Structure 1
Amino acid sequence: MPSAHRNDDGGLRPTEEPPSSDSGSNAGPLAGRRAIVTGGASGIGAACARELAAQGAYVVVADRDAEGAGVVAKEIKGEAWAVDLLDTAALEELSLDADILVNNAGIQVVQPIEQFDPADFRRIHTLMLEVPFLLMRAALPSMYAKGFGRIINVSSVHGLRASPFKAAYVSAKHGLEGLSKVAALEGGPHGVTSNCVNPGYVRTPLVENQIADQARLHGISEDEVLERIMLTESAVKRLVEPAEVGSLVAWLASDQAGMVTGASYTMDGGWSAR
Structure 2
Amino acid sequence: MSAPITEPGTVAGTEPGADPASPLPRAAGLALDLTGRTALVTGAAGGIGRACALRLAAAGARVRAVDRAAEGLETLAEEARGLPGGLDARLLDLTDLDAAEAAAAGTDILVNNAGIQLVRPIEEFPPDVFHTVLTVMLEAPFRLIRGALPHMYGQGWGRIVNLSSVHGLRASAFKSAYVAAKHGLEGLSKTAALEGAPHGVTSNCVNPGYVRTPLVEKQIADQAAAHGIPEERVLAEVLLKDSALKRLIEPEEVAEAVLYLCSPQASFITGTSLTLDGGWTAH
Is the TM value for this pair above 0.5?
yes
Residue 70 of structure 1 contacts residue 79 of structure 1 at CA under 8 Å; is this kept in 2? no
TM-score by length of 2: 0.85
Stretches of structure 2 that go unaligned for 5 or more consecutive residues are: 1-30, 81-85
In 2: Cα distance, 1:102 partner to 1:93 partner: 15
Residue 189 of structure 2 contacts residue 271 of structure 2 at CA under 8 Å; is this kept in 1? yes
1:29-44 matches, cutoff 5 A: 29-44=33-48
Q: Provide, for residues 195-235 of structure 1, a one-character-per-residue CA deviation record: whole Å limited to 9, x for no partner.
A: 00000000000000112211133332222111111111100
Matched, 1:190 2:199: yes
Please state whether the residue corresponding to 1:197 is helix, strand or coil: strand
1:68 to 72, 78, 81: 72
- Percent identity for Structure 1 against Structure 2: 62
Q: Provide, for residues 102-148 of structure 1, a one-character-per-residue CA deviation record: whole Å limited to 9, x for no partner.
A: 00000001111111111011000000000000000000000101111
2:270 to 240, 257, 261: 261
Deviates more, 1:28-37 or 1:124-133: 28-37
Matched, 1:220 2:229: yes
Residue 86 of structure 1 contacts residue 131 of structure 1 at CA under 8 Å; is this kept in 2? yes
Residue 28 of structure 1 contacts residue 54 of structure 1 at CA under 8 Å; is this kept in 2? no
Correspondence for 2:240: 231
Shift of 1:92: 5.1
Q: Provide, for residues 5-53 of structure 1, a one-character-per-residue CA deviation record: whole Å limited to 9, x for no partner.
A: xxxxxxxxxxxxxxxxxxxxxx952111110000001000000111111
Q: What root-mean-square deviation, in Å, do the aligned CA atoms of Structure 1 and Structure 2 show?
A: 1.4
- Give the direction of change, closer, same or farther, for the CA distance of 1:106–1:99 in structure 2 (3 Å limit): same
Residue 125 of structure 1 contacts residue 168 of structure 1 at CA under 8 Å; is this kept in 2? yes
1:84 to 93, 117, 133: 93
Q: Provide, for residues 43-90 of structure 1, a one-character-per-residue CA deviation record: whole Å limited to 9, x for no partner.
A: 000001111111111111100012311321332231011111111243
Task: Detail structure 1 runs of 4+ shifted over 4 Å in the superposition.
Answer: 92-95
TM-score by length of 1: 0.87
Aligned residue pairs total 248
Shift of 1:95: 5.6
1:57 to 29, 36, 61: 61
Residue 121 of structure 2 contacts residue 174 of structure 2 at CA under 8 Å; is this kept in 1? yes
Amino acid in the other structure paired with 1:101: L
